[in-house]
């Protein structure tokens, strides 16, 4: 029976731990934080509202494998996420951009998808081969929409101009010509865990062959006591920044208790202005997140920053148009490949922006590949 170490108690570490434990291995999980769940950790605050400490986590996927796995550990409540953008004049419009967004911004009547497509074709800037996020958006949306919805937001979110960002960062944002206002319309499974994310992790780690130790950061050489280590820490930190630091953006979360609130049918609002905050979440608008009536509600506003200005909390890898950080990551990856008993996992270990379902899928595949080579206990 091999004794294995998993660094990190978020989704990547949890999936690896449970998969390996079910194959008969003893698994020790450590996390530098004082809670399980990684960035998906949630809790019920003094207002009786369930809050996601690290920003809203909306589960969505097209993968039957991922759906089957998460349903083992939780009941799920259907939820179709909708987002509104606050315009400078105080109006709210659907985001991602759809027919109604276009009609409002341009002050025109649009009957159908063909008229919306024709409008965008007229305003789009002819750029045959976009070299960066700015050129890609201008080639699809034109200058007005790019400058309204994406330029100020990018400055806040990434600390960069659109022209400095890789086009892939914005290509993942859908563009719609109809009135669809669901944020993830193509994902057949969209839901929130009925008892919250933390309860999901409690059940995943509830296995006789898994031990969890919190407030325990990884220290060099710790893996020597184990047959293999699956490590979700930042790969550049592990190698003591041999090639320099990889860039990350972080978020400062400003939680506020209110006794008056607007009635709205969406939970998240994006800010298009030049102020420091990017979005606001009204937690009680998510299903089952008002757990106990207190006469108060909780909202959270997000203020992006460099990870070094926020206790080195890494949330989003920075993907620039010149590929600097991606090139540096590949150099770290070469160092990692020389380590026979270490596998880097998760967002920080693989320097990727990954949704929750992608982390689960990637981790299930990774754990099964390892078992294919090393076998069950």
Each residue's pLDDT tens digit, 152-199 = 999 999 999 999 999 988 988 888 899 999 999 889 999 999 999 999
C-alpha to C-alpha distances, 339 to 8, 38, 375, nearest whole angstrom:
19, 25, 19
Other Cβ atoms closer than 10 A to 109: 7
Range(s) of the domain holding residue 333? 1-36+205-246+319-377
Lowest-pLDDT range of 24-33, 85-94, 342-351: 85-94
Q: 352 and 301 in one domain?
A: no
Do 283 and 341 fall within a single domain? no
State the CATH number of the domain containing residue 356.
Answer: 3.40.50.720
Whether 77 and 163 share a structural domain: no
**Is residue 1's pLDDT more than 60?**
no
Domain count, the chain: 3
- 374, part of any domain: yes
Per-residue pLDDT, 377: 67
**Residues 123 and 164 placed together within one structural domain of the fold:** yes
Q: How confident is the model at residue 2 (pLDDT cuts 50, 70, 90)?
A: low
HSE-up (13 A, CA, CB side) for residue 189: 18
For residue 171, the model assigns a pLDDT of 87
pLDDT in tens, 57-86: 999 999 999 999 999 999 999 999 999 999
Residue 177 lies in a domain: no
Same domain, 133 and 280: no
Indicate whether 242 and 253 sit together in one domain. no
Q: Are residues 308 and 368 in the same domain?
A: no
Q: State whether 108 and 164 are in the same domain.
A: yes
Percent of the chain with pLDDT over 90: 92
Q: pTM of the prediction? A: 0.93
Q: In terms of domains, do 231 and 324 share one?
A: yes
What is the tens place of the pLDDT at every residue in 235-250? 999 999 999 999 999 9
pLDDT in tens, 283-342: 999 999 999 999 999 999 999 999 999 999 999 999 999 999 999 999 999 999 999 999
pLDDT at position 263 over 90: no
pLDDT at 262: 83
- The per-residue pLDDT for 376 is 76
161 and 220 assigned to the same domain = no
Helix count (H) and strand count (E) of the chain?
12, 17
Euclidean distance between CA atoms 181 and 328, whole angstroms: 38
Q: Report the chain's terminal Cα–Cα distance, integer Å.
A: 5
Q: Residue 344 domain-assigned?
A: yes
Let me know if residue 92 belongs to a domain.
no
Q: How many CB atoms neighbour CB 100 within 10 A?
A: 17
Do 215 and 305 fall into the same domain?
A: no
């Amino acid at each position: 029976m091999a004794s294995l170490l998993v660094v990190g108690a978020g989704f990547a570490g949890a999936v690896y731990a449970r998969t390996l434990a079910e194959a008969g291995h003893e698994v020790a999980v450590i996390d530098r934080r004082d809670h399980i769940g990684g960035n998906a950790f949630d809790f019920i605050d003094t207002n009786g509202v369930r809050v996601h400490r690290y920003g809203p986590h909306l589960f969505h996927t097209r993968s039957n494998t991922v759906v089957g796995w998460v349903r083992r550990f939780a009941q799920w409540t259907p939820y179709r996420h909708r987002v509104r953008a606050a315009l400078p004049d105080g109006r709210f419009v659907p985001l991602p951009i759809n027919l109604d967004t276009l009609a409002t911004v341009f002050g025109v009547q649009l009957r159908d998808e063909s008229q919306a497509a024709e409008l965008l074709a007229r305003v789009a800037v002819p750029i045959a081969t976009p070299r960066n996020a700015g050129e890609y958006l201008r080639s699809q949306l034109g200058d007005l929409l790019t400058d309204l919805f994406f330029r100020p937001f990018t400055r806040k979110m990434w600390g960069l101009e659109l022209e400095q960002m890789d086009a892939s960062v914005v290509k993942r944002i859908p563009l719609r010509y109809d009135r669809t206002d669901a944020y993830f319309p193509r994902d057949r499974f969209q839901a929130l865990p009925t008892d919250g994310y933390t309860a999901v992790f409690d059940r995943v780690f509830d296995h006789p062959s898994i031990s969890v130790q919190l407030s325990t950061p990884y220290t060099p050489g710790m893996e020597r006591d184990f047959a293999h280590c699956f490590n979700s820490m930042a790969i550049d930190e592990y190698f003591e920044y041999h090639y320099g630091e990889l860039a990350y953006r972080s978020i400062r979360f400003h939680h506020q208790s209110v006794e008056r609130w607007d009635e709205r049918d969406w939970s998240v609002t994006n800010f298009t202005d030049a102020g420091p905050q990017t979005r606001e979440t009204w937690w009680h608008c998510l299903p089952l997140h008002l757990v106990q009536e207190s006469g108060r509600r909780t909202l959270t506003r997000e203020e992006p920053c460099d990870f070094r200005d926020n206790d080195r909390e890494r949330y989003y890898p920075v993907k620039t148009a010149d590929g600097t950080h991606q090139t540096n990551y590949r150099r770290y990856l070469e160092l990692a490949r020389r380590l026979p008993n270490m596998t880097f996992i998760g967002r920080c270990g693989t320097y990727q922006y990954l949704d929750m379902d992608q982390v689960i899928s990637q981790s299930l595949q990774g754990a099964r590949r390892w078992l294919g080579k090393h076998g069950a206990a």
